[in-house]
């Protein structure tokens, strides 16, 4: 139950990929004719969480009332159906529920993809003008990476060249580059600056004593 309707919780046996979970729910909802908020401009309908595929270190996803949590708007706790309205009964009920396994989710979502209407639209991010002279003394990582996927928290986020060489970074946002100073960049997957510079064909010069 909830203040304006209800929440449908799907409990998993282990952490599962958020994208794969959404793929299945989107397709099932559309097949059943359940309206989804945002589809074709709909202002009302169900909302799916989590909305993010992954979170960068130190970042948070969407704020929502957790299972058995108290609603901040009215200070009311909403119970799950089919169990007594007290914490012990609710916890025992949840403990005994069947949990979705990875194998089941893979089988259920086989051949499904995110419907086109829910795919994130590409955004255009304005970058400072690139210097056509790649032999200049001052190195700028922005001259050697793909167009950033997004801009947030003072950084551009784009594909890490070193990760790409290893066949990783499918999301294309492992590399964070400071908007105010492109000399500051970091790969959240752990690639060093030496690895990144080598991957773009601009190794860091070795300082002679």
On average, the pLDDT of the chain sits at 83
Quick check: 68 pLDDT over 60? yes
Q: Give the model's pLDDT for residue 161.
A: 93
Quick check: 194 pLDDT over 80? yes
Encode the chain in three state secondary structure. Answer: CECCECCCCCCECCCCCHHHHHHHHHHHHHHHCCCECCHHHCCCCECCCCCCCCCCCCCCCCCCCCCCCEECCCCEECCCCCCCCCHHHHHHHHHCCCCECHHHHHHHCCCCCCCHHHCCCCCCCCCCCCCCCCCCCCCCHHHCCCCCCEEECCEEEECCHHHHHCCCCCCCCCEEEECCCCCCEEECCCCCHHHHHHHCCCCCCCCCC
Q: Give the model's pLDDT for residue 110.
A: 92
Range 164-171 average pLDDT: 84
Quick check: 121 pLDDT over 60? no
What does DSSP say about strands 155-158 and 175-178: parallel, antiparallel, or unpaired?
antiparallel
Whole-structure pTM value: 0.51
Q: Give the model's pLDDT for residue 93.
A: 95
Is the separation of the CB atoms in 142 and 155 below 8 Å? Answer: no
Q: Give the model's pLDDT for residue 185.
A: 92
Which is more confident, 171 or 110? Answer: 110
Q: Give the model's pLDDT for residue 114.
A: 81
Per-residue pLDDT tens digits for 1-46? 777 778 888 899 999 988 899 899 989 988 898 888 766 666 778 8
Quick check: 122 pLDDT over 60? no
Q: How confident is the model at residue 52 (pLDDT cuts 50, 70, 90)?
A: confident
Range 163-179 average pLDDT: 87
Q: How confident is the model at residue 196 (pLDDT cuts 50, 70, 90)?
A: very high
Q: Give the model's pLDDT for residue 131.
A: 55
Q: How confident is the model at residue 87 (pLDDT cuts 50, 70, 90)?
A: very high
């Amino acid at each position: 139950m909830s203040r304006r309707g209800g929440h449908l919780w799907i409990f998993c046996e282990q952490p599962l990929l958020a994208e794969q979970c959404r793929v299945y729910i989107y397709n099932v909802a559309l097949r059943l004719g359940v309206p989804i908020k945002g589809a074709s401009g709909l202002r009302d309908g169900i909302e799916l969480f989590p909305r993010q595929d992954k979170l960068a270190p130190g970042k948070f996803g969407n704020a929502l009332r957790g299972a058995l949590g108290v609603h901040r708007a009215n200070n009311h706790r909403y119970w799950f159906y089919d169990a007594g309205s007290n914490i012990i009964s609710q916890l025992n009920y949840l403990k005994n529920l069947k949990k979705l396994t990875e194998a089941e989710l893979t089988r259920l979502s086989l051949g499904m993809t995110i419907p086109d209407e829910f795919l994130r639209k590409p955004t255009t991010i304005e970058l400072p003008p690139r210097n056509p002279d790649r032999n200049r003394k001052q190195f700028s990582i922005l001259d050697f990476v793909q167009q950033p996927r997004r801009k947030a928290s003072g950084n551009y986020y784009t594909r890490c060249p070193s990760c790409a060489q290893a066949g990783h970074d499918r999301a294309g946002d492992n590399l964070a580059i400071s908007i105010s100073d492109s000399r500051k960049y970091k790969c959240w997957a752990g690639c060093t600056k030496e690895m990144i510079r080598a991957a773009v064909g601009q190794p860091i010069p070795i300082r002679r004593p």
